[in-house]
Structure 1
Amino acid sequence: MFTGSSLTPVTGTVTRVSSVVGGDAELPCDSRPPQYNDSLLIVVWYRDDNPVYSYDTRVQGPTAHWTDDAFAERARWLGMPNSALHLRNVQLRDQATYRCRVDFQVSPTRNYRIVLDIIGKCEFQNIIIGKAFLK
Protein backbone atom coordinates (compact mmCIF):
# COMPACT_ATOMS: atom_id res chain seq x y z
CA MET A 1 0.00 0.00 0.00
CA PHE A 2 2.77 2.46 0.89
CA THR A 3 5.90 3.06 -1.12
CA GLY A 4 9.17 4.38 0.21
CA SER A 5 10.24 5.00 3.76
CA SER A 6 8.22 6.92 6.31
CA LEU A 7 11.53 8.34 7.55
CA THR A 8 12.22 10.46 4.46
CA PRO A 9 13.75 13.77 5.60
CA VAL A 10 11.46 16.79 5.68
CA THR A 11 12.77 19.98 4.16
CA GLY A 12 11.43 23.50 4.21
CA THR A 13 9.36 25.29 6.78
CA VAL A 14 6.82 23.95 9.22
CA THR A 15 3.24 25.09 8.65
CA ARG A 16 1.02 25.63 11.69
CA VAL A 17 -2.73 25.13 11.48
CA SER A 18 -5.16 25.82 14.32
CA SER A 19 -8.70 24.62 14.87
CA VAL A 20 -11.18 24.31 17.72
CA VAL A 21 -12.60 21.12 19.18
CA GLY A 22 -15.51 20.06 16.97
CA GLY A 23 -14.38 22.28 14.10
CA ASP A 24 -12.69 21.52 10.80
CA ALA A 25 -9.04 21.77 9.81
CA GLU A 26 -7.30 21.78 6.44
CA LEU A 27 -3.71 20.54 6.43
CA PRO A 28 -2.09 21.92 3.25
CA CYS A 29 0.13 19.80 1.02
CA ASP A 30 1.24 20.95 -2.43
CA SER A 31 0.78 17.91 -4.66
CA ARG A 32 1.20 19.69 -8.00
CA PRO A 33 3.86 18.04 -10.15
CA PRO A 34 6.86 20.35 -10.50
CA GLN A 35 7.31 19.49 -14.19
CA TYR A 36 4.79 19.58 -17.02
CA ASN A 37 5.68 16.01 -18.09
CA ASP A 38 5.24 14.59 -14.58
CA SER A 39 2.28 13.21 -12.66
CA LEU A 40 1.23 12.55 -9.09
CA LEU A 41 1.47 8.92 -7.95
CA ILE A 42 0.60 8.84 -4.26
CA VAL A 43 0.07 11.16 -1.30
CA VAL A 44 0.58 9.70 2.18
CA TRP A 45 -0.20 11.52 5.40
CA TYR A 46 1.60 10.57 8.61
CA ARG A 47 0.76 11.55 12.16
CA ASP A 48 3.83 11.29 14.37
CA ASP A 49 5.38 9.04 11.67
CA ASN A 50 2.42 6.62 11.56
CA PRO A 51 0.43 6.51 8.29
CA VAL A 52 -3.12 7.82 8.72
CA TYR A 53 -4.32 8.58 5.19
CA SER A 54 -3.30 7.89 1.61
CA TYR A 55 -4.50 8.64 -1.88
CA ASP A 56 -3.04 6.49 -4.65
CA THR A 57 -3.67 7.66 -8.22
CA ARG A 58 -2.61 4.27 -9.58
CA VAL A 59 -5.71 2.65 -8.05
CA GLN A 60 -9.22 3.22 -9.40
CA GLY A 61 -12.38 3.56 -7.34
CA PRO A 62 -12.91 3.94 -3.60
CA THR A 63 -9.85 1.87 -2.68
CA ALA A 64 -7.65 4.69 -4.01
CA HIS A 65 -8.29 6.35 -0.62
CA TRP A 66 -7.20 4.67 2.61
CA THR A 67 -7.93 6.06 6.08
CA ASP A 68 -6.71 4.89 9.48
CA ASP A 69 -9.46 3.96 11.93
CA ALA A 70 -8.51 6.94 14.12
CA PHE A 71 -9.95 9.23 11.45
CA ALA A 72 -12.71 6.93 10.16
CA GLU A 73 -15.08 9.14 8.17
CA ARG A 74 -13.53 12.41 9.39
CA ALA A 75 -10.66 12.69 6.87
CA ARG A 76 -10.89 13.50 3.17
CA TRP A 77 -8.28 14.45 0.60
CA LEU A 78 -9.01 17.67 -1.27
CA GLY A 79 -7.23 17.34 -4.59
CA MET A 80 -6.16 20.13 -6.91
CA PRO A 81 -6.23 23.07 -6.59
CA ASN A 82 -6.64 22.95 -2.77
CA SER A 83 -4.26 20.05 -2.11
CA ALA A 84 -5.08 19.53 1.55
CA LEU A 85 -6.23 16.89 3.98
CA HIS A 86 -9.60 18.03 5.35
CA LEU A 87 -10.36 16.86 8.90
CA ARG A 88 -13.89 17.19 10.25
CA ASN A 89 -14.92 17.29 13.91
CA VAL A 90 -11.35 17.62 15.19
CA GLN A 91 -10.63 16.44 18.72
CA LEU A 92 -7.88 17.22 21.22
CA ARG A 93 -6.29 13.87 20.37
CA ASP A 94 -5.81 15.09 16.76
CA GLN A 95 -3.25 17.65 17.92
CA ALA A 96 0.06 16.43 16.54
CA THR A 97 2.77 16.92 13.96
CA TYR A 98 1.67 15.63 10.56
CA ARG A 99 3.79 14.95 7.51
CA CYS A 100 2.59 14.83 3.94
CA ARG A 101 4.69 12.78 1.54
CA VAL A 102 4.08 13.31 -2.18
CA ASP A 103 5.51 10.85 -4.72
CA PHE A 104 5.67 11.68 -8.42
CA GLN A 105 6.36 9.58 -11.48
CA VAL A 106 9.51 11.53 -12.44
CA SER A 107 10.33 14.18 -9.82
CA PRO A 108 11.81 13.48 -6.39
CA THR A 109 9.53 12.87 -3.42
CA ARG A 110 8.45 15.97 -1.49
CA ASN A 111 7.65 16.12 2.22
CA TYR A 112 5.79 18.80 4.16
CA ARG A 113 5.45 19.11 7.92
CA ILE A 114 2.29 20.56 9.45
CA VAL A 115 1.65 21.12 13.15
CA LEU A 116 -2.03 20.97 14.07
CA ASP A 117 -2.91 22.90 17.22
CA ILE A 118 -6.33 22.22 18.74
CA ILE A 119 -7.98 24.79 20.95
CA GLY A 120 -10.13 23.02 23.54
CA LYS A 121 -13.06 24.19 25.55
CA CYS A 122 -12.09 25.83 28.83
CA GLU A 123 -14.37 25.61 31.80
CA PHE A 124 -13.60 27.64 34.88
CA GLN A 125 -15.49 26.90 38.05
CA ASN A 126 -13.89 29.54 40.24
CA ILE A 127 -11.60 32.43 39.42
CA ILE A 128 -9.60 34.28 42.07
CA ILE A 129 -8.76 37.91 41.26
CA GLY A 130 -6.78 39.56 44.01
CA LYS A 131 -8.80 38.77 47.11
CA ALA A 132 -12.12 38.62 45.29
CA PHE A 133 -13.58 35.22 44.52
CA LEU A 134 -15.76 34.95 41.42
CA LYS A 135 -18.14 32.13 40.62
Structure 2
Amino acid sequence: MTILGFNKAKSESECNDVKLLSSMKRDVNPICSRLEEIKTKNVALKDQNVSLECNTTISSPDDAISLIFWYKGDQTGAPIYSVDSRNSNHIENAKHFQPDSMKGRLSFNVTVQISYLTISKVKEEDEGEYRCRVDFRWARTINTVVYLDVI
Protein backbone atom coordinates (compact mmCIF):
# COMPACT_ATOMS: atom_id res chain seq x y z
CA MET A 1 0.00 0.00 0.00
CA THR A 2 1.32 3.44 -0.93
CA ILE A 3 0.04 6.27 1.23
CA LEU A 4 0.55 9.21 -1.15
CA GLY A 5 -1.09 9.56 -4.53
CA PHE A 6 -3.42 6.98 -6.00
CA ASN A 7 -3.52 3.68 -4.17
CA LYS A 8 -4.86 0.26 -5.02
CA ALA A 9 -5.75 -1.68 -1.89
CA LYS A 10 -4.97 -5.39 -1.88
CA SER A 11 -7.43 -6.42 0.85
CA GLU A 12 -10.60 -5.19 2.53
CA SER A 13 -8.74 -4.25 5.71
CA GLU A 14 -6.09 -2.37 3.72
CA CYS A 15 -8.86 -0.56 1.84
CA ASN A 16 -10.43 0.47 5.16
CA ASP A 17 -7.03 1.65 6.45
CA VAL A 18 -6.51 3.82 3.37
CA LYS A 19 -10.03 5.26 3.68
CA LEU A 20 -9.38 6.13 7.33
CA LEU A 21 -6.09 7.82 6.42
CA SER A 22 -7.76 9.71 3.59
CA SER A 23 -10.25 11.19 6.02
CA MET A 24 -7.33 12.56 8.09
CA LYS A 25 -4.98 13.67 5.28
CA ARG A 26 -5.79 15.58 2.13
CA ASP A 27 -3.05 14.04 -0.03
CA VAL A 28 -4.44 10.51 0.09
CA ASN A 29 -6.87 9.34 -2.55
CA PRO A 30 -7.96 5.72 -1.99
CA ILE A 31 -8.96 3.49 -4.86
CA CYS A 32 -10.37 0.18 -3.67
CA SER A 33 -11.59 -2.63 -5.88
CA ARG A 34 -14.99 -4.11 -5.31
CA LEU A 35 -13.73 -6.84 -3.06
CA GLU A 36 -16.83 -8.93 -3.55
CA GLU A 37 -16.21 -10.83 -6.74
CA ILE A 38 -18.84 -12.17 -9.06
CA LYS A 39 -18.14 -15.90 -9.50
CA THR A 40 -19.73 -18.25 -12.00
CA LYS A 41 -19.04 -21.63 -13.58
CA ASN A 42 -19.38 -22.55 -17.25
CA VAL A 43 -19.21 -25.94 -18.94
CA ALA A 44 -18.09 -26.21 -22.56
CA LEU A 45 -17.87 -29.07 -25.01
CA LYS A 46 -14.49 -29.58 -26.65
CA ASP A 47 -14.32 -28.03 -30.16
CA GLN A 48 -17.43 -25.90 -29.49
CA ASN A 49 -17.67 -22.18 -28.65
CA VAL A 50 -18.24 -20.84 -25.14
CA SER A 51 -19.02 -17.35 -23.84
CA LEU A 52 -17.68 -16.17 -20.47
CA GLU A 53 -19.64 -13.37 -18.81
CA CYS A 54 -18.04 -10.11 -17.66
CA ASN A 55 -19.94 -7.44 -15.72
CA THR A 56 -19.25 -4.12 -17.44
CA THR A 57 -22.10 -2.22 -15.79
CA ILE A 58 -21.37 1.50 -15.47
CA SER A 59 -22.76 2.82 -12.18
CA SER A 60 -23.04 6.48 -13.23
CA PRO A 61 -23.83 8.20 -16.54
CA ASP A 62 -20.77 10.42 -15.97
CA ASP A 63 -18.43 7.43 -15.80
CA ALA A 64 -16.86 5.29 -18.54
CA ILE A 65 -14.83 2.12 -18.92
CA SER A 66 -11.08 2.77 -19.19
CA LEU A 67 -9.64 -0.75 -19.40
CA ILE A 68 -10.84 -4.34 -19.47
CA PHE A 69 -8.44 -7.21 -18.82
CA TRP A 70 -9.14 -10.94 -19.13
CA TYR A 71 -6.71 -13.25 -17.34
CA LYS A 72 -6.47 -17.03 -17.32
CA GLY A 73 -5.34 -18.28 -13.93
CA ASP A 74 -4.08 -15.57 -11.61
CA GLN A 75 -3.34 -11.94 -12.49
CA THR A 76 0.44 -12.27 -12.33
CA GLY A 77 0.88 -13.02 -16.03
CA ALA A 78 -0.07 -11.07 -19.11
CA PRO A 79 -3.78 -10.80 -19.89
CA ILE A 80 -5.17 -13.10 -22.58
CA TYR A 81 -7.38 -10.27 -23.84
CA SER A 82 -7.53 -6.54 -23.18
CA VAL A 83 -9.65 -3.59 -24.23
CA ASP A 84 -8.21 -0.07 -23.93
CA SER A 85 -10.55 2.91 -24.25
CA ARG A 86 -8.43 5.46 -22.36
CA ASN A 87 -7.79 7.50 -25.52
CA SER A 88 -11.25 7.25 -27.04
CA ASN A 89 -14.56 8.86 -26.19
CA HIS A 90 -16.59 5.68 -26.57
CA ILE A 91 -16.00 2.04 -25.66
CA GLU A 92 -17.04 1.11 -29.20
CA ASN A 93 -13.84 2.80 -30.45
CA ALA A 94 -11.57 1.02 -27.96
CA LYS A 95 -8.50 -0.92 -29.02
CA HIS A 96 -8.59 -4.70 -28.55
CA PHE A 97 -5.47 -6.77 -27.88
CA GLN A 98 -4.79 -10.50 -27.59
CA PRO A 99 -1.64 -12.61 -27.74
CA ASP A 100 -0.70 -14.24 -31.04
CA SER A 101 -1.26 -17.67 -29.48
CA MET A 102 -4.99 -16.90 -29.10
CA LYS A 103 -5.57 -14.89 -32.31
CA GLY A 104 -8.72 -15.93 -34.09
CA ARG A 105 -10.07 -17.84 -31.06
CA LEU A 106 -11.09 -14.93 -28.82
CA SER A 107 -13.62 -12.15 -29.31
CA PHE A 108 -15.20 -9.72 -26.87
CA ASN A 109 -18.33 -7.62 -27.34
CA VAL A 110 -18.28 -4.46 -25.21
CA THR A 111 -21.40 -2.82 -26.64
CA VAL A 112 -23.80 -4.60 -24.27
CA GLN A 113 -24.22 -4.20 -20.50
CA ILE A 114 -23.23 -7.79 -19.68
CA SER A 115 -20.33 -8.47 -22.02
CA TYR A 116 -18.94 -11.86 -23.03
CA LEU A 117 -15.52 -13.16 -23.97
CA THR A 118 -16.16 -15.83 -26.58
CA ILE A 119 -13.64 -18.65 -26.96
CA SER A 120 -13.95 -20.46 -30.28
CA LYS A 121 -13.10 -24.14 -30.76
CA VAL A 122 -12.56 -24.82 -27.05
CA LYS A 123 -9.58 -27.04 -26.21
CA GLU A 124 -8.92 -29.12 -23.09
CA GLU A 125 -6.15 -26.70 -22.07
CA ASP A 126 -8.72 -23.87 -22.00
CA GLU A 127 -10.15 -25.34 -18.79
CA GLY A 128 -9.48 -23.27 -15.68
CA GLU A 129 -10.23 -20.02 -13.91
CA TYR A 130 -10.72 -16.80 -15.88
CA ARG A 131 -10.87 -13.33 -14.38
CA CYS A 132 -12.32 -10.24 -16.02
CA ARG A 133 -11.16 -6.95 -14.48
CA VAL A 134 -12.99 -3.77 -15.50
CA ASP A 135 -11.37 -0.44 -14.60
CA PHE A 136 -13.56 2.66 -14.77
CA ARG A 137 -12.52 6.30 -14.95
CA TRP A 138 -14.16 7.11 -11.59
CA ALA A 139 -15.86 4.06 -10.07
CA ARG A 140 -14.25 1.11 -8.36
CA THR A 141 -12.88 -1.82 -10.31
CA ILE A 142 -15.19 -4.79 -10.87
CA ASN A 143 -13.79 -8.34 -10.95
CA THR A 144 -15.72 -11.24 -12.45
CA VAL A 145 -14.35 -14.76 -11.95
CA VAL A 146 -15.52 -17.59 -14.21
CA TYR A 147 -14.40 -21.22 -13.92
CA LEU A 148 -14.52 -23.10 -17.22
CA ASP A 149 -14.91 -26.89 -17.30
CA VAL A 150 -14.20 -28.55 -20.65
CA ILE A 151 -15.78 -31.95 -21.37
Report TM bin, short chain.
Answer: 0.7 to 0.9
User: What TM-score comes out, normalization by structure 2 length?
Assistant: 0.67
CA RMSD of aligned residues (A): 2.5
Structure 2 residue aligned with 1:33, among 58, 76, 80?
A: 58
**Aligned-partner residue type, residue 52 of structure 1:** I
Cα offset, 1:41, TM superposition: 0.7
The answer to whether residue 108 in structure 2 is matched with residue 80 in structure 1 is no
Question: In structure 2, what is the Cα distance between the partners aligned to 1:105 and 1:95?
Answer: 32
Q: Which runs of 4+ in 1 moved over 2 A?
A: 7-13, 58-63
Percent of aligned pairs sharing the same letter: 27
Helix, strand or coil at the partner of 2:61: coil
- Larger radius of gyration between Structure 1 and Structure 2: 1
1:38–1:63 CA distance, 2 compared to 1 (3 A):
closer
Question: In structure 2, what is the Cα distance between the partners aligned to 1:32 and 1:9?
Answer: 13
Q: Deviations over 1:69-90 (max 9, x none)?
A: 3322100111132411011001
Range moving further from structure 2, 72-81 or 15-24: 72-81
Say which structure is richer in helix.
2
Structure 2 alignment gaps of length 5 or more: 1-6, 11-32
Aligned length: 115
Structure 2 residue aligned with 1:69, among 70, 95, 100?
A: 100
